[in-house]
């Protein structure tokens, strides 16, 4: 099945392609000539996920899905959360965000480094939204380890693979337990049953 994944994040795209497998052909907005940044003005993952999917649906009239994700760090009151992509400022790099997060956590010595990734995927079918949630628990490492993945992967240690970070385990192991893997497997199951 051919479907639009409303993302500009190539790390997410690589993971989604692997999770959904050969039965899906994922098309990005850029491949459809939609090159502007998709607005994300909500203050929840669900609102932003819906907003991204609806933006693409309105432009194309085609079924699509979007992923909004965030990293919640307990010692920082749940930050960066919905602001994970731009924690260190507009158009900052993944490295800038990691530096800021490790700097903020250094100001909370002795506090637990527990954290979790959350994703909300919105699937729009005929304009109707269907939501899928995923969460993976872990801890924030003191320094970066590993080279794979994207975003905060070099400092996120999922409980299931401790002490390895998401960047140290392969994409297959990450997808097997990740926030995104949970959402997209649930979405694929829903589609198999309902479409
Ligand atoms: P979209 O085009 O899909 O919106 P984005 O990168 O802006 O891509 P989000 O708005 O969902 O995505 O921002 C979430 C940020 O959280 C993302 O930029 C990463 O820094 C981080 N993130 C999300 N999922 C992650 C993962 O699986 N591993 C590491 N970091 C992740």
- Mind listing the pLDDT tens digit for each residue in 40-97? 999 999 999 999 999 999 999 999 999 999 999 999 999 999 999 999 999 999 999 9
Size (the chain), residues: 195
Strand ranges, E, within 9-168: 25-27, 64-73, 80-81, 114-125, 128-140, 156-158
Given this model, what pLDDT does residue 98 score?
98
Q: Is 68 a catalytic residue?
A: yes
Average pLDDT on 96-111 reads 97
CA 71 to ligand 1: nearest atom: 16
Distance 117 CA to ligand 1 centre (A): 10
Q: Would you say the CB of residue 180 lies under 6 angstroms from ligand 1?
A: yes
Angle at 179 between CA 174 and CA 184, to 5 degrees: 95
Adjacent-strand bridge partners of 124: 64, 129
Q: Would you say the CB of residue 67 lies under 6 angstroms from ligand 1?
A: yes
Distance 109 CA to ligand 1 centre (A): 27
Q: Number of helices (H) and strands (E), helices first, in the chain?
A: 5, 7
Distance 85 CA to ligand 1 centre (A): 6
- Mutate which of 4, 5, 9 for ligand 1? The one with the most ligand atoms within 8 Å of its CB, which is 9
What token pair was written down for 105?
A: 């956590």
> What global pTM score does this model have?
0.97
């Amino acid at each position: 099945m051919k479907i639009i994944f409303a993302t500009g994040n190539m790390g997410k795209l690589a993971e989604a392609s692997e999770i959904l497998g050969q039965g899906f052909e994922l098309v990005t907005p850029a491949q459809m000539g939609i090159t502007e940044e998709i607005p994300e003005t909500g203050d929840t993952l669900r609102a932003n996920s819906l907003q991204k999917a609806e933006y693409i649906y309105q432009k194309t009239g085609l079924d699509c899905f979007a992923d909004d994700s965030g990293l919640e760090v307990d010692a920082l009151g749940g930050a960066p959360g919905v602001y994970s992509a731009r924690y260190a400022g507009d158009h900052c790099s993944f490295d800038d965000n990691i530096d800021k997060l490790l700097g903020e956590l250094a100001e909370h010595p002795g506090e637990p480094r527990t954290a979790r990734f959350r994703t909300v995927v919105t699937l729009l079918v005929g304009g109707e939204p269907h939501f899928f949630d995923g969460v993976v628990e872990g801890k924030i490492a003191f320094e970066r380890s590993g080279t794979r993945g994207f975003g905060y992967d070099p400092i996120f240690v999922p409980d299931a693979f401790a002490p390895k970070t998401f960047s140290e385990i392969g994409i297959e192991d990450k997808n097997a337990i990740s926030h995104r893997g949970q959402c997209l497997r649930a979405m694929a199951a829903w589609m198999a049953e309902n479409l």
